[in-house]
Amino acid sequence: MTHHDRADVSAIEALRAAWKPEAQARGLKLTALAFHVAALARALRAFPKFNASLSPDGETLILKGYVHIGIAVDTEHGLKVPVIRDADRKGLWSIAAEIGDLATRAQARKIGPDEMGGASMTITNLGGIGGTGFTPIVNPPEVAILGITRTETVTVWDGDTPRPVPMVPLDLSYDHRVINGADAARFLSRYTALIADRRHMLL
């Protein structure tokens, strides 16, 4: 099953612009993906059933005491999914540095098998390519995957006043044997709230 929503990324874009000089000084590229990884790590802590694996026979749900986020990387040699381990314990700068390192090494075919397994959940980001939505396929034994597409400007009405707001489409696919639709809606609602409020990003 796939649940669709979108999140206001005004806070993310404002912070990326404000922190651009510091990112350059650190030799990093602070991408929106770093914020998504941080937000997903928090959401997984709040919803333990999503931070789980299903046994091959489908009979046992294994709840994880850690939060590892897989990031799908499109390379000339096929899809690679390196993993950011203990993402819930890392700050944005650390996550941004790790994303850059893993993506670069994935492109160069220098990612080892031990760096691509054991994710709690995976993010697949097509924002740099295009599209308004898709149905990502869950990567077993994970029970959910988050898809992201290109940010678009949406008109939001503030009373009688129209306001342009950058919104990112989100597509949450999940294993219905473990997660029901209401839980998926609640999870993505929490996630969009984390993305929209800069206070969450500063903690």
Residues identified as active-site: 176
Angle between helices 10-18 and 181-196 (to 10 degrees): 40
State the number of CA atoms in the 13 A half-sphere of 44 facing the CB. 33
List of residues 6+ apart from 15 with CB closer than 8 A: 35, 198, 201
Adjacent-strand bridge partners of 147: 124, 171
Q: Cβ atoms within 10 A of the Cβ of 52, count?
A: 21
Beta bridge partners of 182: none
